Amino acid sequence: MKAWIVAAVAAVGAALLAAPLAANAQATATGEAVFNARCKSCHEPAIDRAPNRTTLSTYQPAQVLQALSGGVMTPMAQGLSDADKAAVAAFLTTAQLPTEAHPQPGGARAIPAANRGVDVMCATNPPIHTTASDWASVGLDARSSRFQANPGLKAADVPRLKVKWAFAMAGGSMPTVVGDWLFITNRSGKFYALDAKTGCVHWVVEGVSSRTTPMVVKSVISPSGWATFVGERTRVVRAIDAQTGKEIWRSAQLETNPVAGITGTPVVSGDQLFVPLTSGEEPAARQLTYACCSFRGSLVGLDLATGKTQWKTFVITEPLHPTHKNSAGVMMQGPAGAAIWSAPTVDAKRGLVYVATGDSYTDEPTKGDDAIVAIETKTGKIRWSTQVTEKDNFIMGCENHSNLPNCPTPVGPDYDFGASPILFTLPGGKQIVLSGQKSGIAYGMDPDTGKLVWKTAVGSGSALGGIEWGMAADDKRLFVAISDVINLFGEVPGLAPVTDDKLGPPKPGLYALNPANGKFLWSTPAPKADCHYAGDRSRDYSKGACIRAQSAAPSAMPGAVFSGTMDGWFRAYDPATGKIIWAFSTTAQTYDTVNQVKGQPGGSIDGMGPAIAGGMVYTMSGFSGAANTGGNPVNVLLAFSPDGK
């Protein structure tokens, strides 16, 4: 963190604690004025995927300052002084959240004022011991199957699942579990190690703002023998002793582009760590003065012991070059884009790592976007790259036929890959790479050549899925969750349906395909069901905007597939038939959490989905996802066990 940011954060804190009310009010007024002039048009109300005003109030001042000074909001903050940026941070992060005395409009449930909680420390911190039931990475295993073969509970136990404990945090990610230890990052900057059975805190590391799922491995690089790794928005990876929370190493900044970041989990294989890089250039390019666009998605190979870069591979191989000047006289450039949003998938047998790329940001031709790419683990050389959608050129705000100066021509459908590829072994031993796109199409590819074996249109697709965050596979089936969220707005009372003729009828739900040929085995539409949003992230919570989009990644075990929906329902399905065998509304009640938050509401289930480990199932409710629907600034991690015991 830059020295001035540290000083500014300290100054903000001191002002809040000690400054006279008049001075405090003046600083707040300055921050509000700057926010209204520079930020309000995108955040109040929130447009596209920007966080709204209430969500921003849960950020730490350092997060806001970093975003304005060296992060995704740098283009929008051009010309602001350090004092202006500090004032914006103070204004955004000190405003009182809604309380029971000041409820949300439309009767929506209020967010508790004491939302940040109290870290209740565990009485003891026993050594970490691995079990056959661990879920130690976002995809569970190297092939990203999201299939727990040893869940510690039986299919017959699933209908008896009840909440055992809950833990509130701002912007929580998916957890990982090793033995009785649970690891989770969040937007509040607190990286937690919790007791998996009770939710008490083993340790907490401050200042780790991350949305990546921590990978935990047994390794000699750590004094305790256990290490965990997280990627931060600042393009830095940190290795931490999983037993103590002490830092082992911190990588250099892996990308100089200030709008770049890390959202996909860094994955360990052998003595290497593979880190995907993504970007916030899509919203940054809305600015007239922004030289759109220069970011290119990449995968970085790090030495596991030291964090030093071994190689960095850009998935766009065509050279970056100037193109033309926009209406403001700013020189445009390209090709750009192909962000890697999800965790990579490792194929140790072939010495490959597979990544899925996002869309293009310019109309300069490239074969690197909307592609599955195989990269050699030792050299970083691209073995093969298979593009599935050409000319998917997109930046935010251009999809509505606006006249933004940096819009590509024509504007593409925004059909990124947001889901990790799955390496699946077919009967007889032959393997296939399975992938799912926001277009709603699932693909099977040859892992040796990248040749397309099959493709199946499962959902209608939209800019927010289609297939959004992930798929799962047991030994017989591929499980595909379909969002089609934009197509669903017509189901909400008072909201106009989307009239884009490119979008077909919505098909939200869970589907099972044959991994060998992509043929349907069964389909279960997402039920229409009541929800009780807290309201702050809903597009129109006063009109009951229960959106049944199924965008979160599913997770499977023998006899059950778990999948959540944006209306806050968490369900289990019979993997052989698709029948719903258990359902729980995470928004039907509030939770008194382990970290002493009273009346914490649930909300949308979105993002990286549930973890199954040690006889328990864990999911995050209220995730503030890109759809601006049903999320809370403060989420709740729910831990389920049979009968809640």
* Rounded Cα–Cα distance for residues 633 and 46 (Å): 13
CB 406 within 8 A of CB 326: yes
Instruction: Among 95, 115, 144, identify where a domain stops.
Output: 95
CATH number, domain containing residue 266: 2.140.10.10
Tens digit of pLDDT for each residue in 261-284?
Answer: 999 999 999 999 999 999 989 888
Among 20-29, 158-167, 227-236, 352-361, which is the least confidently predicted range? 20-29
Give residue 268's pLDDT: 98
Q: Which of 39-48, 81-90, 406-415, 618-627 has the highest mean pLDDT?
A: 406-415
Q: Which of 354, 274, 364, 363 is closest to 319 using CA atoms?
A: 364
Q: How far apart are CA 353 and CA 299, in angstroms?
A: 9
pLDDT at 55: 65
Distance CA 514, CA 103 (A): 48
Task: Fill in the amino acid letter for 570.
Answer: F
Lowest mean pLDDT among 59-68, 570-579, 592-601: 59-68
Neighbours of 431 (CB within 10 A): 17
Q: Is residue 125 part of a domain?
A: no
pLDDT digits (tens, 9 = 90+) for 88-138: 777 776 644 333 333 343 334 444 443 568 999 999 999 999 999 999 999
Polymer length in residues for the chain = 645
Structural domain includes residue 100: no
Distance of CA 432 to the CA centre of its chain: 26
Q: Does a cis peptide bond (omega within 30 degrees of 0) precede residue 410?
A: yes
Structural domain count, the chain: 2
The verdict on 183 and 40 lying in the same domain is no
- Residue 510's beta-bridge partner residues? 481, 524
Q: Rounded CA gap, 333 and 634, in Å?
A: 39
pLDDT tens digits for 483-534? 999 888 877 766 656 656 567 899 999 999 999 999 999 999 999 999 888 7
- pLDDT above 70: residue 538: no
Burial class (CB in 10 A: 0-12, 13-18, 19+), 30: middle
pLDDT at 612: 98
Q: Does 467 share its domain with 388? A: yes
Domain housing 43: 3-95
In contact, 430 and 424? CB cutoff 8 Å: no
For the stretch 556-569, pLDDT in tens is 999 999 999 999 99
Better-predicted residue by pLDDT, 327 or 390: 390
Q: How far is CA 523 from the centre of its chain?
A: 26
Domain end position, chosen among 46, 74, 95: 95
Backbone φ and ψ for 160, nearest 5 degrees, come out as: -100, 5
DSSP string, 458-517: -S---TT-SS-S-EEE-SS-EEEEE--TGGGGGGSTTPPPP--TTS-----EEEEE-TTT
Residues 322 and 464 in one domain: yes
- To the nearest whole percent, how much of the chain has pLDDT over 70? 82
Pick from 46, 75, 95: which residue ends a domain?
Answer: 95
Residue 220 has pLDDT above 80, yes or no: yes
Mean pLDDT (the chain) is 87
What pLDDT sits at residue 267? Answer: 98
